[in-house]
Amino acid sequence: MNKNPVCEMLGIEYPVFQGGMAWIADAQLAAAVSNAGGLGLIAAMNSNGEQLREQIQKAKKLTDKPFGVNLMLMSPFIDEAVEVVCQEHIKVVTTGAGNPARYMEKLISNGVKVICVVASVALAVMVERMGACAVVAEGCESGGHVGETTTMALVPQVVDAVHIPVIAAGGIADGRGMAAAFMLGAKAVQMGTRFLTAKECNVHPNYKEKVLKAKDRDTIVTGKSLGHPVRALKNHMTREFLEKENNPNTTPDELEKMGAGALRRAAIDGDVRTGSCMCGQIAGLVKTQDTCLEIVTSICNEAYELMGARIDKAKLA
Please name the residues in contact with 251: beta carbons below 8 A apart, sequence gap of 6 or more: none
Shortest spacing between CB 179 and ligand TUI, in angstroms: 23
Q: How far is the CB of 151 from ligand TUI (least distance, A)?
A: 11
Q: Which is nearer to ligand TUI, 118 or 162 (CB)?
A: 118
Q: Minimal CB distance to ligand TUI: which residue?
A: 144
Q: Which is nearer to ligand TUI, 269 or 294 (CB)?
A: 269
What is the nearest approach in angstroms of ligand TUI to the Cβ of residue 41? 11
CB of 230 or CB of 286, closer to ligand TUI = 230
**Residues 70, 107: contact at Cβ < 8 Å?**
no
Radius of gyration of the chain (CA): 18
Please identify, using beta-carbon distances, which residue of 31 and 72 lies nearer to ligand TUI: 72
Residue among 65 and 265 whose Cβ is closer to ligand TUI: 265
Least separation in angstroms between residue 61's CB and ligand TUI is: 27
Q: Which is nearer to ligand TUI, 72 or 90 (CB)?
A: 72
Residues in contact with ligand TUI by CB under 6 A are 22, 45, 72, 74, 96-99, 117-119, 123, 138, 144-147, 228, 230, 259, 263, 278
Shortest distance, position 302 Cβ to ligand TUI, whole Å: 25
At its nearest, how many Å lie between ligand TUI and the CB of residue 125?
A: 11
Q: Which is nearer to ligand TUI, 35 or 75 (CB)?
A: 75
Query: In the beta sheet, which residues pair with residue 16?
Result: 189
Report the nearest approach of ligand TUI to the CB of residue 245 (Å). Answer: 13
Pairing assessment for the beta strands 230-233 and 219-222 based on DSSP bridges: antiparallel
